[in-house]
Amino acid sequence: MARTDTRTPRRGLILLALMCTMMLAAMDTTIVSTAIPQIVADLGGFSLFSWVFSIYLLAQTVTIPVYGKLSDLYGRKPVLIAGTVIFILGSVLSSVSWNMVALIGFRGLQGLGAGAIMATVSTLAGDLYSVRERGAVQGWLSSVWGIAAVTGPLLGGFFAEYASWRWIFLINLPIGALALGLIMAFLHERFEPRAPQIDYAGALLILLAGSVLMFGLLQGGQSWDWLSWPSVAIFALGAVLIALTVRAERRAPQPIMPGWLWRMPVLAGANLAVAGMGLVMMAPSSYLPTFLQSVLGMGAIGAGLVLSCTSLGWPLASAMSGRLYMRLGFRDTALIGAVLMFAGSAGFLLLPSPQPVWAVALDQALLGAGFGFLSTPLLVGAQSVVGWAGRGVVTGSNMFARYLGQSLGAALFGAVFNAAIAGRLAQAPDAVAGEMPDNVNAVIDVLHGAATSEPARDWLRASIDLANDRLFLGMAGLSVLVFLTLFIAPRHFPLHEEEETDAADAVRAAGD
């Protein structure tokens, strides 16, 4: 069995390497969107551009649990190096894409690398640092997302306007090279040779089931209606594949996702709560910029900065959570996060209309604090109940639950938003009814159209405002469910016996 050397005096450099690899995945979610108009103008394929994002999310999400298990079997270092190399290769190939189909394929390759990065970085943080230290370390790792939220759109816009959109992928090369150099130089693992039994059937079925389910969520309500035969067929196939996956995992000697992940109340409660948090996260990240620009009249950069306040509150809360969960326990600290998540969701509904921009920014920071106080204790707590040999699987399942929740959230809140807008369009008074768009997709075009009258604009702005309120109302309701779900887990998480030794080693190493 491999063991990560927690007594290395260079943990700070390893943490820098982990932050660099995390930056690859974090930056890629924000830098690409700003350059889409230039990419489409160069490559064509406007009808396919949404898959530039979807294929990346799909490939990343469905591979996370597989990489988590592989890191338990072969060690964190080889999995992280392989994932980083795959991501860099995908970045280089994306930069030389000759059409939209090629770009989508290479973005999928990037997603395969991102899955390894996301599964392994947090696992390594659990290996290298004691339970007491992990809150602060997760704060540092979470801060990467805050930095990416601000710098990603700025860099993407700069490259698209003054250089070439291809540089948004090439910038990954120096960051990735630095990360690889630090990992290979300073991250050491001790191996005890063994012959692991790889669960090939389980891995394949997890990838197939996850891909089918994610594909249905990404396409439902977009390419076809939720109740249409394609949706029914895809989700029926997904259900069959999930059943086959459960059967295969029960029979496998070393399953990719073992059954104890869901039989232990600690892990089941943590994963379900994190999935609920993923649901809540998608509403503001997907629709708040539209509200800020269309209703409050902000520019794209300003709207992005307001949204980034969520990513600023998150790392601060993650860093602070370490002291709280050492005093209150993991579950009770996560309950505070759920309360703050509810406060951020309900607080938006209480803001006067038109909403002051500074108040919206503070509300997003509060929401981010809720995410930080919820996610970090649950991840650290889940890692603490298993030893080294199970930490990759536990971390992978926790992150898989969050990303699956985000995919469900995109589908759920998309349906809520569209239904609210459609209802308002149908209720438009006769004076502006003739100017209303035929479908929800055309609302923004009509709102900013030169021929649209001011009363019609006011009605459309009010429609978007109402739809946004519905989203935050749904977020508040989901926050209550997350709060209740946390009671599945016990108040005190049982600390694995290895944690005592690893924590002591990490504390001693902190003085080096």
The pLDDT value recorded for residue 46 is 60
**Residue 50: pLDDT over 80:** no
* Highest-pLDDT range among 194-203, 367-376, 443-452, 501-510: 367-376
Backbone angles phi, psi at 356, to 5 degrees: -65, 135
Average pLDDT of the residues in 458-485: 88
What proportions of the chain, in percent to the nearest 5, are helix, strand and coil?
A: 80, 0, 20
End-to-end CA gap in the chain: 26
Report the SS3 class of residue 220: strand
Residue 296 burial by CB count (10 A; 0-12/13-18/19+): exposed, middle or buried? Answer: middle
The pLDDT value recorded for residue 403 is 84
Question: Tokens 């005592």 identify what position?
Answer: 500
With a pLDDT cut of 70, the percent of the chain lying above it is 88
Contact 93, 109 (CB under 8 A): yes
Q: What is the pLDDT of residues 91-122, one digit of tens each?
A: 999 989 888 889 888 998 999 999 999 889 88
The pLDDT value recorded for residue 6 is 47
Q: Does residue 414 or residue 192 have the better pLDDT? A: 414
The pLDDT value recorded for residue 287 is 78
Q: What is the pLDDT of residues 165-202, one digit of tens each?
A: 888 888 889 999 999 998 888 888 776 656 667 777 87
CA distances from 80 to 22, 109, 179, 204, 301 (A): 11, 15, 10, 21, 33
Backbone angles phi, psi at 345, to 5 degrees: -75, -50
Spatial CA neighbour of 292 closest among 370, 356, 351, 362:
356
Q: Does residue 240 or residue 209 have the better pLDDT? A: 240
Domain annotation for the chain: domains and CATH numbers: 1-198 (1.20.1250.20), 199-253 (no CATH), 264-505 (1.20.1250.20)
| Band (259; pLDDT cuts 50, 70, 90) | confident
Beta-bridge mates of residue 224: 220
The pLDDT value recorded for residue 435 is 67
The pLDDT value recorded for residue 191 is 60
Question: Tokens 């009770």 identify what position?
Answer: 332
With a pLDDT cut of 90, the percent of the chain lying above it is 14
